[in-house]
Structure 1
Amino acid sequence: MQVNTLFYIFIFLCIVPINVANAAAKKLLFCYEDKEIAPMFLGAGQEIPTQRPGASADVLRLLDDAVDGVDIEFVRKPWRRCLKDLESNKVNAVIASFREGREQIAVYPMDEDAKPNAQFAISRFGSCLLGRDKFRSQWQSRDKFNTKTFTIAVPSGYGLSAVLKKEPLFVHETVSKENAFELLNKGVVDSSIDICQVDKIKASSYPYSDTDVKALFPPYEFTLGYLVFSHQFYENHPTLSHKMWQWVSEFDSAPIYIDYLNSAKQPQN
């Protein structure tokens, strides 16, 4: 009888710490767009892919495993809904670039000058225009053109669309990056745009290798993505939030993003 009692006590003591640890983990509801945004997030709709969900999703899953006290749960919604729900704390975090005024709904890792600290960015991308030799040569002297001279295919919703419309470019929006690349490959448009640099490493996802299409360096624009929290989540869990930012700053995520970009280079006819 005593042996059985001791056995059950032993089992109880083994199980309780595990349950306490699980109970102590704070659920963090992370929202990202329900459209594919390669290489960050793949797939579309509300389903969360279990395999190859995207580079940013992979990084967050590694963070989830590495940082004690947090349990990340993913949800997909239209981007504006993600931001709206972040403001009301219906979701706790998103990955977003910094825009003036966005700090009113999201907490960024700030430096002493009250600006986002690039050291804590979860992604660092350079975007380049793509084109053939003639386009790349003429683009260097684009200030001489007073009219829209070139055509560029850009995926719908791409963050640079508004900026590019100020250039001597006819902007043709496409349903996907693959469609934009196809139009460039067939000569329907003069240019497209692609991530050409991750941190300081040159990269590309352009799949056609039998053309003279190349990226135009230096990058047209650099974009930093930050893991940002709702104000309520940060106020309730400041130490945990900083632990996650610290992990991001110490983790080399570039190889993961480059792997996804390279995987996108499928052979094309």
Structure 2
Amino acid sequence: MFNLNDRKAVVTGAGSGIGRSIAKLLAARGAAVHVLDIGEDAAREVAQEIRREGGTATAHACNVAVQADVLAAFDAIGPLGILVNNAGIAHIGKADNTAEGDFDRVMAVNVKGVYNCLHAAIPQLRTNGGGVIVNMASVAAWVGVAERFAYSTAKGAVMAMTLSVAKDYLRDGIRCNSISPGRVHTPFVDGFLAKNYPGREGEMFEKLSKTQPIGRMAQPDEVAALALYLCSDEASFITGSDYPIDGGFITLNG
């Protein structure tokens, strides 16, 4: 099961966290993975790690918010079979205290970045006879999360784009789904706690963990396992769906 031999996969934001885990797992299942990240060193390090473990990977420095960067990267990669739109940034704030520049920055990466990659990849997926797209949404697209105005707006757009693409490209053999994680323990979380709660990292980590009814954060590998399923032929009857992986956050809170 979950054999991705002879598939070419692109994973954005793959230099760390969830993207890194997805890139590594797809490669372990046989895909030739193209690791895209705004940080060239991070992308190269993940690609090297995959190759050391016997997989096939190529690193690309790419700012998904800049269409010229994306088009150049996808042109170099050529026809692909899998796209995982994982790149994204976070922001904390409400509607009245989110600065215009911060709002624009979140939209540029989390919304336009997904559009740019879809715009570049879909013609190549068509050339390849079809394929799979997985977009990273969030529980913030489903429920109200305090002080996540711009982020929630962006992830709601990602979910809507998923439905639109799934509908528009059924006849081209392209499946498109999304994943909505709850809190995931990534380097971003550790950096956020160190910056905002120095000396209280452990206490705040425990508090954030307990916002998931299951009592802990997800691990990136758990999200990667869901992405692998959606990218595989075992999910060939699935398109236009969102998959929460949230420890019960959406349905069991409150």
Per residue, is there more strand in 1 or in 2?
1
User: TM > 0.5 between the two?
Assistant: no
- Give me the TM-score of the superposition, normalised by structure 2: 0.32
- Give me the TM-score of the superposition, normalised by structure 1: 0.31
Q: Which one has the largest radius of gyration?
A: 1
